[in-house]
Structure 1
Amino acid sequence: MADGAGPLGYLGVDRSLSGRRWRERPADPDLARRHQLALGLAEPLARALAARGIDEAAAGSYLAPTLKALFPDPSCFADMDKAASILVDAVERDRRCVVFADYDVDGASSAAQLVRWFAAMGKALPIYVPDRITEGYGPSPAAFRSLREQGAELVVTVDCGAAAVDAIACAAEIGLEVVVIDHHLMRDEVPVCAALVNPNRPDCGSGQGVLAAAGVTFVLLAALNREARRRGLFDGRAEPDLRQWLDLAALGAVCDVTQLVGFNRALTAQGLKVMSAWGNPGLKALLEAAGGKGPATTFHAGFLLGPRINAGGRIGRSDLGARLLSTDDPDEARKIALELDALNASRREVENEVLEAAARTIERESNFADQPLLLVAADDWHPGVIGIVAGRLRERYRKPAIVVGIDRAADVGKGSGRSQPGVNLGRAVQAAYDAGLLLSGGGHAMAAGLSVRPSALPELREFLCQAIAAEAQAAAEADALEIDALVTAAGADRALFESFQQLAPFGPGNPEPMFAAADVRIERPMMLRGGHLRCTITDRSGGRLKAVAWRCGETEIGRRLMEEGGAAHVAGRLKADDWNGRQGVELEIEDVADPRRKNV
């Protein structure tokens, strides 16, 4: 068909070189026309807006999301008012408080928000981050005892604690008050503590379950300001301006791969604007260490800053990220940023070693190909990189993956998993824990963590495969590359790119626009270090479009691009190309299809 939407898929692609069907992203044509008329949008952009399920009433705020329109009443979160009262009491009474943070970006950005609010109130808030290797995830009785012995009276956990039943019970025994700020999925059992704020607790009616902990913490700051204002604590002193810390809330939202919809979308959009001023000394120093520049985008947060902040918790000192985001000392920020940048380089080396070993295991075990979930394990795989490797395996094999590093001396395996859209991995891991197969486990739909006895791994694999079988089958059937618009090499220009940027920020719940180009020729392909490839795309329109394909060296896509000759269909995302001020674009190739390979 002329529009490329025949029965075999978009452009006739029923099976691309990555094994996917292509299809035009479904959209209501009548709604697209109404968007076009009401908002003055070009047809492709109006259609893309409709394809994201945005109706006429919500279209304006979607294109220009504001906190004023979407900020929830903090009181709609279970225990939020109670938590705010306890923390403001602590400020008034000068109680000895500690923020206990998870060791990832979400934990660090959540902790930094609280540290900065306390500092604005004239109080210091020490940070405690458990060591990933020696302490594991979340609060433990030993950690709480140590903090109590050091004089702590109140601990605020951020991005952890919602499942720490034993640790919180221990805290009660030793007279340590605990407030939990979290977002992870919970079992029906709610730990008995002073306050537990989590939009995913069973009895929370906030409807904000997509928030990262950093987003929940930002709402807490609003509750803290409101409570402090009610008590007259701002009489004669400036009220903390929460907007200055929106960059931290956005950082947590992007790096924790949350759904960028509703309030969370507004929080991220406004937070990236604040981040673009690079007023946080830690973020500015880290950007410089990474060689980045320009206004902040989800790329800056998710691919430049996030991995470096995470590197401290993965293979370095777990508190480095929180310290970086909390400091106002440029010299300290620069020192920590350089250390994190170096740790990130080391992390990449370790990650590549584990990824290659895991891929060899999968290729060797032929039965893995038929299973709905990949679970690979080996001795001494570094627990700091297994989550990243699981994500890489998920991308490569297009199914949920769990990677387990085994410590034989301790007789325990620590695992991390990443899932495909439509498969709730966190729920399956929770079910395995409830069935007695795990020492610990939990997470959310797209990611999960667990601890397991090595001897239980075969039974765990079988259990998880059965638990997700129906979801995995449906997800596999729906695993198609959805195209927003067909473009030519000449038409894929800066104007088109900037018009679609009105849909930003992009992420889960708001996919980055995907463009397809038909019957193009690949010219001057060049393989780069790391398996990346650069080339130029040309077609009959006479245009030339620069393109890049990441990590494609050992794939069918990479091999086809290196062949040059012969027509191909390509699909990818348009990216700004501002090198030397040229204000151009390049195509970041996601998939390639050979028109000669139909019905394969």
Structure 2
Amino acid sequence: MSPSFLQAQVPALSVLGKTWTQRTAATLPSLALAQRLSLDPLVASILTNRGIGPDEAPAFLEPKLRDAMPDPFVLKDMDVVVKRLKQALDRGERIMIFADYDVDGATSSALLSQVLKSLGAKVDVYIPDRLKEGYGPNVPAMEAFHTKGVQLIITLDCGTNAFGPLLRAKELGMDVIVIDHHEAEPLLPEAVGIINPNRLDMEKSDLCQLAAVGVCFITLVAFFSHLRTEGFARPLPSLLNWLDLVALGTVCDVMRLQGLNRAFVAQGLKVMAARQNVGLCALMDVGGLREKPSAYHLGFVLGPRINAGGRVGEASLGTRLLTTEDPLDAKNLAMRLDQLNKERQALEEEALADALTQAYSQSDKRCLVVASPHWHPGIIGIVAGRLKEQFHKPVFALSFWSSPEDGKGSGRSVPGICLGSLVHAAKQKGLILGGGGHAMAAGLSLTEAQLAPFQAFLEERLVALGDEQIPTLTYDGFLPLEGAHLSLLETLALLEPYGQGNPSPRFVLTDISVKKAFPMGQNHLKCTLVNQHGKELEGVAFRCLDTALGVQLLKGTEPYHLLGSLKKNTWQGQDKPQFVIEDAVSARYGNWVKEPLTQDLAS
């Protein structure tokens, strides 16, 4: 059972002001699951805690694409889109792919362009400049495509709300196909077809959780089906060869790793491990990734480097890296992206210091809105994400870099608050110039004069939702320090890939002394964890030095109960367990009833 003081939900006991809640499951269903599927009791207990029973567990533990893939023609406009794509191939039309400048856009454009080229299509890719053009299709780009003889435009990870630019494309005689996943408005722009599971004229389904690259993959599955029906002369390549791109875009766009997304990532990681993509191989080498890639590496090693091109460099670098077949070109592109990522980190740290000062002055607000004319627009999304993690509230970070009349904003949300809907509502009320997004992230444009009314609107809407939620960390059980070994990690590996919707299992270590704590890198901390019997374990805490957690760990003056996850740390060819600390509670509070998740954990 959970400790008594945690059951009382007293947030002040956590140094980060959070409540801790243990996932609990009935013992009998857990044991039944273990026996039925011959699972380790620990894995069975965690699955049961997360609501995964005997019927769902096989697909969860061994996700197969053929079992998870729906009929792609359930998506509206799919039939007309695949016919228009076939027409473009038959006529030898010039196709222009217009994609977003983030990882989802880069992977989507790399996937679609490579597949279409393998079928003999004439395809070019255009990634807009973040500073000069902003997000999504724009009229000048449409007019430029027309002068180049483009007949078909395909927008990826954008376009659902691009009414003016798509109308201009139609006026110029060009057809447009939209493949997107962002929240839609009741009315849709002029297009041959809009493939978007988040259209309001479609029933909500698990497909709403797909990244744009996932929607793109499903569209290609439908397209290949249509080509086979029509007796297409060329041999069709295996779409499975590009699942590494689908996995990368899905993880980096923070989609829920359940159902089809889980199959995409699980199978995509296998493709990536084979190192078939020349650009990804070069990027893994630059990032020092020698081991088998995991979802963590996609989100924190590869993704930030690809994103750096669109944030502070040349927007097309990511797509070029993912599509090149020249190893030397790939190496140069990877090194350039790595350098841009370092520049991005420096800009981010400078902006974050200013943003934190503003955020602390808004402690009574439901939504934090921070802004500056000095922040590079390419890093505001990261700043919003960092603030959201620290303050556990929705955050909008805005930059008036170019002018007070041309502010760019990026938002990050917490569970239960859909930013995309809020931005659309603000747009309909005339409070912002434009914007869109989905549940957890959104983008917008506005003037400096609109800033205060927009913030007031957000506050009014969020207050109407009810009482503010106290941030909660859930954990899966108690772990004796003696149980933190590599064999436990091997057992837990059955639950991978981890990510949104399927977090790494969290455990609580009790009565732990923190020794030899020292800063590591820019804002991290490394230490040695020691229990009452003198057993030691390496500990690490990320981005904590400027938080109450970092302060307390550096002091090391009293025992703590620590919440976090167990990871494998590989250094100089040696593997050892490492505990990643997320939060702490002073051991002098409360009487813990320490029942391990299973008996195995106590051994």
TM-score by length of 2: 0.95
Please give the alpha-carbon distance, in whole angstroms, between the structure 2 residues aligned to 1:500 and 1:47. Answer: 11
- 1:372 maps onto 2:366 in alignment: yes
Per the alignment, in what secondary structure is the counterpart of residue 208 of structure 2?
A: coil
Are the aligned partners of 1:416 and 1:448 in contact in 2 as well (CA < 8 Å)?
Answer: yes
Per the alignment, in what secondary structure is the counterpart of residue 459 of structure 2?
A: helix
Please give the alpha-carbon distance, in whole angstroms, between the structure 2 residues aligned to 1:539 and 1:319. Answer: 51
Are the aligned partners of 2:565 and 2:580 in contact in 1 as well (CA < 8 Å)?
Answer: yes
**Residue matched to 2:500:** 508
Please give the alpha-carbon distance, in whole angstroms, between the structure 2 residues aligned to 1:583 and 1:407. Answer: 46
**Residue matched to 1:577:** 569
Are the aligned partners of 2:376 and 2:401 in contact in 1 as well (CA < 8 Å)?
Answer: no
Report how far residue 566 of structure 1 moved.
2.1
Q: Which amino acid aligns with 2:558?
A: G
Report how far residue 451 of structure 1 moved.
0.6
Please give the alpha-carbon distance, in whole angstroms, between the structure 2 residues aligned to 1:49 and 1:409. Answer: 52
Q: Which amino acid aligns with 2:385?
A: G
In structure 2, the CA distance between the partners of 1:266 and 1:421, relative to structure 1 (3 Å rule), is same
The two structures, once aligned, show a CA RMSD in angstroms of: 1.8
**Residue matched to 2:538:** 546
Please give the alpha-carbon distance, in whole angstroms, between the structure 1 residues aligned to 2:209 and 2:24. Answer: 24
Are the aligned partners of 2:310 and 2:378 in contact in 1 as well (CA < 8 Å)?
Answer: yes
**Residue matched to 2:117:** 119
Report how far residue 202 of structure 1 moved.
1.5
Per the alignment, in what secondary structure is the counterpart of residue 385 of structure 1?
A: helix
Please give the alpha-carbon distance, in whole angstroms, between the structure 2 residues aligned to 1:5 and 1:356. Answer: 37
Please give the alpha-carbon distance, in whole angstroms, between the structure 2 residues aligned to 1:472 and 1:243. Answer: 46
**Residue matched to 1:232:** 231
Q: Which runs of 5+ in 1 are unaligned?
A: none
**Residue matched to 2:314:** 317
Q: Which amino acid aligns with 2:211?
A: A
Q: Which amino acid aligns with 2:284?
A: L
Please give the alpha-carbon distance, in whole angstroms, between the structure 1 residues aligned to 2:423 and 2:338. Answer: 33
**Residue matched to 2:6:** 8
Per the alignment, in what secondary structure is the counterpart of residue 292 of structure 1?
A: coil
**Residue matched to 2:170:** 172
**Residue matched to 1:389:** 383
Please give the alpha-carbon distance, in whole angstroms, between the structure 2 residues aligned to 1:214 and 1:551. Answer: 30
Report how far residue 40 of structure 1 moved.
2.6
**Residue matched to 2:596:** none
What whole-Å deviation, never above 9, does each CA across 1:213-232 have from its counterpart, x for those lacking one? 00011111111211121222
What whole-Å deviation, never above 9, does each CA across 1:270-293 have from its counterpart, x for those lacking one? 111111112101111111111222
What whole-Å deviation, never above 9, does each CA across 1:320-362 have from its counterpart, x for those lacking one? 1111111112121111111111100000000111101111222
**Residue matched to 2:457:** 463
Q: Which amino acid aligns with 2:307?
A: N
Q: Which of 307, 324, 329 is the matching residue for 2:326?
A: 329
Report how far residue 470 of structure 1 moved.
4.6
Please give the alpha-carbon distance, in whole angstroms, between the structure 2 residues aligned to 1:568 and 1:211. Answer: 40
In structure 2, the CA distance between the partners of 1:460 and 1:16, relative to structure 1 (3 Å rule), is same
Report how far residue 421 of structure 1 moved.
1.4
Q: Which of 29, 32, 36 is the matching residue for 1:31?
A: 29
**Residue matched to 1:213:** 212
Query: Which 10-residue stretch deviates more, 50-59 or 348-357?
Result: 50-59
Report runs of 4+ in structure 1 exceeding 4 Å deviation. 10-14
Per the alignment, in what secondary structure is the counterpart of residue 197 of structure 2?
A: coil
Report how far residue 537 of structure 1 moved.
0.9
1:239-258 alignment runs, 5 A limit: 239-258=236-255
Please give the alpha-carbon distance, in whole angstroms, between the structure 2 residues aligned to 1:502 and 1:265. Answer: 13
Are the aligned partners of 2:92 and 2:122 in contact in 1 as well (CA < 8 Å)?
Answer: no
Per the alignment, in what secondary structure is the counterpart of residue 467 of structure 2?
A: helix
Q: Which runs of 5+ in 2 are unaligned?
A: 592-603
Please give the alpha-carbon distance, in whole angstroms, between the structure 1 residues aligned to 2:382 and 2:466. Answer: 21
Report how far residue 576 of structure 1 moved.
1.1
Size of the aligned set, in residue pairs, is: 590
**Residue matched to 1:521:** 513
Are the aligned partners of 1:571 and 1:592 in contact in 2 as well (CA < 8 Å)?
Answer: yes
Q: Which of 248, 261, 264 is the matching residue for 1:264?
A: 261
**Residue matched to 2:597:** none
Q: Percent identity?
A: 40
Q: Which of 443, 449, 456 is the matching residue for 1:449?
A: 443
Query: Which 10-residue stretch deviates more, 399-408 or 138-147?
Result: 399-408
**Residue matched to 2:584:** 592
Report how far residue 469 of structure 1 moved.
2.5
Q: Which of 273, 279, 282 is the matching residue for 2:279?
A: 282
In structure 2, the CA distance between the partners of 1:188 and 1:31, relative to structure 1 (3 Å rule), is farther
Per the alignment, in what secondary structure is the counterpart of residue 57 of structure 1?
A: coil
Per the alignment, in what secondary structure is the counterpart of residue 370 of structure 1?
A: coil
Please give the alpha-carbon distance, in whole angstroms, between the structure 1 residues aligned to 2:478 and 2:502. Answer: 19
**Residue matched to 2:524:** 532
Please give the alpha-carbon distance, in whole angstroms, between the structure 1 residues aligned to 2:197 and 2:8. Answer: 39
In structure 2, the CA distance between the partners of 1:323 and 1:414, relative to structure 1 (3 Å rule), is same
Please give the alpha-carbon distance, in whole angstroms, between the structure 1 residues aligned to 2:441 and 2:76. Answer: 24
Are the aligned partners of 1:428 and 1:468 in contact in 2 as well (CA < 8 Å)?
Answer: no
Per the alignment, in what secondary structure is the counterpart of residue 530 of structure 1?
A: coil
- 1:399 maps onto 2:393 in alignment: yes
Report how far residue 460 of structure 1 moved.
0.6
In structure 2, the CA distance between the partners of 1:166 and 1:11, relative to structure 1 (3 Å rule), is closer
In structure 2, the CA distance between the partners of 1:472 and 1:529, relative to structure 1 (3 Å rule), is farther
What whole-Å deviation, never above 9, does each CA across 1:148-205 have from its counterpart, x for those lacking one? 1111110000000011111111111111110000000111111121011001012234
Please give the alpha-carbon distance, in whole angstroms, between the structure 2 residues aligned to 1:545 and 1:246. Answer: 37
In structure 2, the CA distance between the partners of 1:194 and 1:258, relative to structure 1 (3 Å rule), is same
